[in-house]
Structure 1
Amino acid sequence: MTPQTTTPFPLTWLYVPGDRPEVVAKGLASGADVVIVDLEDAVAPDRKDYARSATAELLSAPPPVPVHVRVNALNTPHAEEDLSTLSPLPGLTALRLPKITSPAEVVGVAERTAPAEGGAIPLYALLESALGVERAYDIATAHRALHGIALGETDLRADLAVLHDPALDWPRSRVILAARAAGLPSPAQSIYPDTKDLEGLAISSTRGRALGFLGRTAIHPRQLPVIERAYAPTPQEIESAEEIVKAATATPGAQALPDGRFIDPAVVASAHRTLSLANRPTRH
């Protein structure tokens, strides 16, 4: 199989259980920008070894889409075997590290998984506790191998003992700010656990976009089109961005548009980002 080029600005990230190869195969054909093979929460303890070996077989050659693997938590006996088995494989795009609470954990994985010839396997740190969120910026700047951070909201809810969604808005903003301050991409929004409530998913994703997330992780293929629609620029946003870029090209520097909107380099950069998102390949 020939690997696809990673989509600029991926918007859809689909979790699939590592111990179910038939589900993984469907995930690879689902149209998700990135498939995340999960060896952690989605796999029962007595299936961990099988999930790892099945994933190693999958990644023995490059899959048709980028594949990340969420390994087991670093304080469990399965993590070291996950890292040593999967890190050298040619089909692995990145490793996702769950329940990270310190920069040292990221550094340790980066050093253990760096190829002998140089370079580093891209890592993503999942912040799933109050301590992880509190240390978000330190974790985000821990090592050059770290390509992103994200929030794990299910575990965080339990750690904070909160039931209502607005209680997580501050941790969400904290992680988004830490990522951007560290020069990392805007994080993808955490999963929406009710796979049949597509209306709720759309509302939640629209709110996530307003907070500053970019794209979202999913746990079922039916969620992917909803996420993509929520995070893709609207026709009005595209039209506005085109107008801004056209005006900035014709007359460089800060200026006001005929309708009174003021544009400066930051506004122009945002417009270019909107157009890049609009021009990304559509999968759904």
Structure 2
Amino acid sequence: MSSAPSAGVDPVAQVAGAVTALFVPGDRPDRYAKAATSGADVVVIDLEDAVAPPAKFGARLAATRALGAPDDDRARALVRVNAADSGLFAAEIEALLATARLSRSGLLGVMLPKSEDPSVVADVVTRFAAIEKPVAVVPLVESARGVLRAAELAAVPGVTRLALGAIDLTVDVGADLESPVVTHAMAHLVLASRAARIAAPLDSPSTAITDLALVGDAARVARSAGFGGKLCIHPRQVAAVRAAFAPTEEQLAWARSVLAAGEAAVQIDGRMIDKPVIAAARRILRLAGTDAS
């Protein structure tokens, strides 16, 4: 479910433009409605890490039931399936394909965990494309192999954006979350996304829940690295992430001054004004929801 409106919105555009993406356990349908009113741009119903093995079949049924015949327009969500080698992947993709075909489907798309193989991603894209309804596909990169193949994953036609799973990555390589390995992975996903001309990636969720200052700090780091948004694991994190990604008043004032000066200006406040600077100013105003044309 998503608190961002409405059935008239293109699911791919909604996912591509999301700054906040909130996970909700698939086996807790009682929490779906709360997630829908959290303020998150996109809700992700999780069939993977948040669900114990005995509950996975029931979680799949709950997710497809909620999205197949939604009670209102807020019943819209991505679904994170289990990994391709889990033994559950094929059945979950089939169930989501059936859900997507329904006339009132609220399925925004599918998130593919442990993404490493571009051919697996391409197969998913092809199968959803065959139903001729827009569905987002988000590979979640969580391993060394996935990071090194991020450019290939991003370049698969039909991929909406990438996402980073830093905790799983650190387990895979035996590093800490503060390790340069994570910084490298972040940069790799940002560059791969830009090279493929897809939306900027979603950053890994912060492990802090009650300390919202830490959540905001992590989100600002992600924003400064070129990420377009951040995954969230608790509704409390949503507002902190959104605020961190929003331009400051100082940045907005600078962007307005750049565009007001026009392309003929040589410098403002001692800084050379050229096409990249003008593009940066327009991007700031777009992030703030201000017309930057």
Fold conserved between structures, TM > 0.5: yes
Amino acid at match of 1:55: A
1:79 aligns with 2:94: no
Q: Which residue of 1 aligns with 2:272?
A: 262
Give yes or no for contact 2:165–2:203 (8 Å, CA) kept in 1. Answer: no
Q: Secondary structure at the match of 1:93?
A: strand
- For the residue of structure 2 that corresponds to 1:87, the secondary structure is helix
Superposition deviation, residue 54 in structure 1: 0.7
Separation of aligned partners in 1, 2:15 and 2:287: 10
SS of structure 1 residue aligned to 2:84: coil
Distance 2:38 2:8 in 1: 14
Q: Which residue type is aligned with residue 17 of structure 1?
A: P
Q: Does 1:216 align with 2:212?
A: no
Matched residues in 1 for 2:203 and 2:126: separation?
28
CA contact (8 A) 2:258 2:268 kept: no
Report what 1:244 is aligned to: 258
**For residues 31-46 of structure 1, what are the structure 2 equivalents within 5 Å?**
31-46=39-54
- In the comparison of the two structures, how many residue pairs are matched? 274
Q: Residues 4 and 23 of structure 1: is their aligned pair in 2 closer, same or farther, counting only changes over 3 Å?
A: farther
Specify whether residues 128 and 95 from structure 1 end up closer, same or farther in structure 2 by C-alpha distance, changes over 3 A only.
Answer: same
Q: In structure 2, how many angstroms separate the alpha carbons of the residues matched to 1:103 and 1:8?
A: 19
Match in the other structure for 1:225: 239
Instruction: Give 3-state SS (helix, strand or coil) of 2:203's partner.
Output: coil
Query: Which residue is 2:210 aligned to?
Result: 196
Structure 1 consecutive aligned stretches of length 4 or more whose deviation exceeds 6 Å: none
Please state whether the residue corresponding to 1:51 is helix, strand or coil: helix
1:175 matches 2:179: no
Q: Determine if contact 1:34/1:65 at 8 Å carries over to the other structure.
A: no
| 2:159 aligned to which of 146, 156, 164 | 146
Quote the offset at 1:9 in angstroms: 3.4
Aligned pair 1:95/2:73, yes or no?
no
2:78 partner SS: strand
Residue type of the alignment partner of 1:267: V
| 1:9 corresponds to which of 17, 30, 34 | 17
Deviations 1:20-50 (A, max 9, x none): 0111110011110110110111111111111
Post-superposition Cα deviations, 1:102-139, rounded to whole Å, max 9, x if no partner, equal 211111212233334x4663211111100010011011
**SS state at 2:27 partner:** coil
Partners of 1:273 and 1:65 lie apart in 2 by 30
* Deviation at residue 15 of structure 1 after TM alignment: 0.5
Structure 2: stretches of 5+ with no match in the other structure: none
Where in structure 1 are there 5+ consecutive unaligned residues?
none
Please, what is the CA RMSD of the aligned residues?
1.9
Query: SS of the residue aligned with 2:23?
Result: strand
Residues 261/65 of structure 1: CA separation in 2 closer, same or farther (3 Å cut) = farther
